Amino acid sequence: MDGTPVGRRVFLGLAAFGVSGILWGSKAAGFMERLLAPVAAKDGSGILGLLPIGRFRIYSIIGTLPSRATADWHLTVDGLAGAPYTIGWDELLALPSVELTKDFQCVTGWRVLQVKWKGVRLADVIARAAPQAGATAVEIESFDGAYTETLTLEQARRDDVIVAYELEGKPISAAHGGPVRLYVAPMYGYKSLKWLQRITLVAKPEPGYWEQQGYDVDAWIGKSNGRSDEPA
């Protein structure tokens, strides 16, 4: 068969370009986010919203997606606490609420701009349990049965760290960690534990799930995990 072997060259060229993107894609992704995310945010038609920028990606460390009805959901705060307690959905909603609109930055690179959250300050949730003098940190546990996180008490008491139950004005879906999750604005997404069920006051915290796999315990955006993102 005669003719120029163009097909093979196109195939090999495109395949090499695509597969090597595993190596150069993180830089390109950052560039595209900076370039397009501000445009997409102002785009009324929603067409740019279909593009793979500025959108949440759903991760779960267990095989399935945990879900729990609000009626069956409880939060326990215990450990080194003078007044350990367990509350349900209605009691959580009765606590003084705060709203927070900030970027959500994942340590794998994606960022969602100006996400609106509503919830209760983690500081208030912890204070209600009357922490004992020896408590220095909290271990936080998900009802997926596997995910854990930690915060120092100082970090947990920041105003931009909340126990969230609304995302963009709606109840938080199971995929986004509902009914109740953590939102730790100044840190990478893995600190914002999904499917929250337990907060334990401790003196020496066990590192959380990702920290045991080498991620930084103090996950400040732009100042940890070897990344240089803008703070949220």
Partner 1 sequence: MGLRGLHQPPPREGGLERFDRTERWLHWVNATLVGVLVGTGAVLYWGDLASLVGRRALIKEIHVIAGLSLPIPFLLALPGRRGRALRRDLGALNRFSPDDFRWLRSRGADRSVRLGKFNPGQKLNSAFVAAALLTMLATGSVLKFFSPFPLSWRTGATFVHDWTALALGLAITGHILLAVGDPEALRGMVFGRVPAAWARRKRPRWHDDLTGGDVSAEPVGSATPGP
List of residues contacting partner 1 (CB under 8 A)? 1-8, 10-15, 17-19, 21-29, 32, 50-52, 55-58, 60, 63-65, 107-110, 173, 175, 213, 225-226
167 and 227 in contact (C-beta within 8 Å)? no
CA geometry: angle 116, 119, 123, nearest 5 deg: 125
Distance of closest approach, residue 19 Cβ to partner 1, in angstroms: 5
232 and 183 in contact (C-beta within 8 Å)? no
Backbone angles phi, psi at 10, to 5 degrees: -60, -45
Choice between 79 and 178, CB closer to partner 1: 178
Choice between 9 and 132, CB closer to partner 1: 9
Residues in the chain: 232
Nearest to 215 by CA among 186, 183, 184, 188: 188
Residue 232: DSSP 8-state: -
Backbone angles phi, psi at 187, to 5 degrees: -120, 165
Q: What is the dihedral of CA 57, 181, 135, 158, to 10 degrees?
A: 80
Distance of closest approach, residue 216 Cβ to partner 1, in angstroms: 11
Distance of closest approach, residue 200 Cβ to partner 1, in angstroms: 27
Distance of closest approach, residue 23 Cβ to partner 1, in angstroms: 6
Which amino acid appears at position 221 of this protein? I
Distance of closest approach, residue 168 Cβ to partner 1, in angstroms: 11
| Joined tokens for residue 29 | 């992704």
Choice between 85 and 209, CB closer to partner 1: 209
Choice between 12 and 146, CB closer to partner 1: 12
Choice between 60 and 136, CB closer to partner 1: 60
Choice between 138 and 143, CB closer to partner 1: 143
Residue 59: CB partners within 8 Å, gap ≥ 6? none
Beta pairing partners, 85: 77
Distance of closest approach, residue 36 Cβ to partner 1, in angstroms: 11
| Joined tokens for residue 200 | 């334990």
